[in-house]
């Protein structure tokens, strides 16, 4: 933005206004995506929202159908060095260890308690499932909510030392706000646990619990001493990942989104499902390209692998965010 020399304060104001309009196209203060550098990704978002919300536009979509879905891990908040919910589970193993003396002899817990995470995970999925069930089941929904709340209040990210709820992407927070300001309903559709995410999604992202879709374990309604409770059972209910995402969207939202934001192959089917509907559609992958300010990983990564998705995005002309080039800032200011 450049300013012309002006004499009076009133004409100065008008002058600033004019120069803004002519040089940058709009006031900086009016830019709904100030943490985005100008470029194809930012333009694509702005153009899509304008096209779908301008009455009379051939691509106009009525407000009720403005459904946008967002993956969480790697799309709204970071996911390195490991998915944050898994770090919660590891912390919880330590916290629960005094109640489980048998864990000293029992894998994967014995290795975890010795700090040997890699050895603990040697059995892969089986070990992960055991850790998740031991730390996420057996308590009521209210108790679990409190456990997550307590952890988020005190736990710190291993490398940045920031609270996990500050490890969120400022540019994506702006997209969420921008969409909602344009009468979009924003949903989270994540492989993460639905009851884990709901604890912070409203405050952190402005997404209310009823707009969070995720993986779940089964729960059972019981009356305990006259009080109804929902008990979390050690049994998988639904995995909201890959081909599960369109299933979860259909089950919870019941209509097809018109915009979808992801970052990994786990989101590919969600984007395919979104893209396949009639009318204008928007699909975006966040590509982690910034080893300095965040992490750089894609095709070979265990966490958040983006391989097939990257190819399909190119083939179909979906928007790919180059985190390093497209984002002015990554995380909110401390």
Closest approach of its own copies to the CB of residue 176, in Å: 16
**DSSP, residue by residue, 177-217:** HHHHHTTPEEEEEEEEEHHHHHHHHHHHHS--GGGEEEEEE
Q: Answer yes or no whether residue 50 interacts with its own copies by CB under 8 A.
A: no
**Counts for the chain of helices (H) and strands (E), in that order:** 13, 7
Q: Answer yes or no whether residue 209 interacts with its own copies by CB under 8 A.
A: yes
Closer residue to its own copies in complex, CB, 198/288: 198
What value does the CA radius of gyration of the chain take, rounded to a whole number of Å? 22
Q: Answer yes or no whether residue 141 interacts with its own copies by CB under 8 A.
A: yes
| Contact window for its own copies (CB under 8 A) among 44-52, 159-167, 217-225, 319-327 | 217-225
CA distances from 17 to 9, 13, 49, 123 (A): 12, 6, 24, 63
Size of the site for its own copies (CB under 8 A): 37
Q: Pick from 3, 14, 181, 243: which binds its own copies (CB under 8 A)? A: 243
3-state secondary structure of 327: strand
Closer residue to its own copies in complex, CB, 242/324: 242
Q: Answer yes or no whether residue 258 interacts with its own copies by CB under 8 A.
A: no
| Contact window for its own copies (CB under 8 A) among 123-131, 176-184, 187-195, 296-304 | 187-195
**DSSP, residue by residue, 239-295:** --STTHHHHHHHHHT-S--SEEEE-SGGGHHHHHHHHTSSS--EEEEEE-B-TTTS-
Q: Pick from 161, 221, 300, 334: which binds its own copies (CB under 8 A)? A: 221
Joined together, the tokens standing for residue 272 give 């395919």
Closer residue to its own copies in complex, CB, 108/214: 214
Closest approach of its own copies to the CB of residue 233, in Å: 10
Closer residue to its own copies in complex, CB, 29/64: 64
Sequence-separated (6 or more) residues with CB below 8 Å from residue 218: 232, 233, 235, 236, 237
Closer residue to its own copies in complex, CB, 9/227: 227
Q: Answer yes or no whether residue 236 interacts with its own copies by CB under 8 A.
A: no
Residue indicated by tokens 């097939």: 308
Closest approach of its own copies to the CB of residue 11, in Å: 44
Residue 259, number of CB atoms within 10 A of its CB: 25
Q: Segment 56-75, which members bind its own copies (CB under 8 A)?
A: 64, 67
3-state secondary structure of 149: helix
CA distance 184 to 302: 33
Residues of this chain that interact with its own copies (CB under 8 A) are 64, 67, 141, 185, 187, 194-195, 198, 202, 208-212, 216, 219-221, 223, 227-228, 230, 237, 243-244, 246-247, 250-255, 269, 272-273, 276
């Amino acid at each position: 933005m450049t300013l012309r020399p002006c004499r009076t304060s009133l004409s100065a104001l008008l002058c600033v206004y004019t120069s803004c309009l002519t040089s940058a196209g709009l006031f900086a203060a009016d830019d709904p995506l100030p943490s985005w550098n100008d470029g194809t990704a930012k333009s694509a978002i702005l153009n899509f929202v304008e096209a779908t919300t301008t009455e009379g536009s051939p691509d106009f979509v009525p407000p009720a159908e403005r459904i946008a879905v967002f993956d969480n891990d790697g799309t709204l908040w970071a996911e390195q060095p490991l998915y944050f919910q898994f770090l919660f589970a590891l912390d919880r193993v330590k916290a629960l260890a005094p109640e489980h003396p048998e864990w000293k002899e029992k894998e994967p817990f014995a290795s975890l308690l010795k700090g040997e995470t890699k050895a603990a995970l040697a059995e892969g999925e089986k070990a992960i499932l055991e850790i998740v069930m031991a730390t996420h089941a057996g308590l009521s929904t209210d108790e679990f909510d409190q456990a997550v709340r307590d952890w988020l209040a005190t736990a710190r990210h291993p490398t940045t030392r920031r609270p996990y709820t500050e490890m969120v992407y400022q540019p994506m927070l702006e997209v969420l706000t921008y969409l909602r300001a344009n009468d979009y309903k924003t949903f989270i559709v994540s492989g993460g646990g639905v009851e884990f995410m709901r604890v912070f999604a409203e405050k952190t992202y402005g997404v209310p619990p009823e707009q969070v879709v995720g993986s779940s374990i089964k729960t059972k309604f019981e009356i305990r001493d006259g009080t109804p409770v929902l008990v979390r059972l050690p049994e998988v209910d639904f995995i909201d990942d890959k081909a599960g995402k369109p299933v979860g969207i259909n089950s919870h939202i019941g209509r097809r989104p018109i915009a979808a934001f992801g970052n990994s192959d786990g989101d590919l089917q969600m984007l395919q499902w979104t893209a396949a509907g009639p009318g204008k559609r928007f699909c975006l992958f966040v590509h982690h390209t910034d080893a300095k300010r965040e992490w750089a990983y894609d095709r070979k990564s265990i966490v958040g692998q983006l391989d097939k998705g990257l190819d399909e995005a190119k083939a179909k002309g979906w928007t790919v965010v180059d985190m390093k080039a497209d984002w002015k800032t990554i995380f909110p200011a401390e």
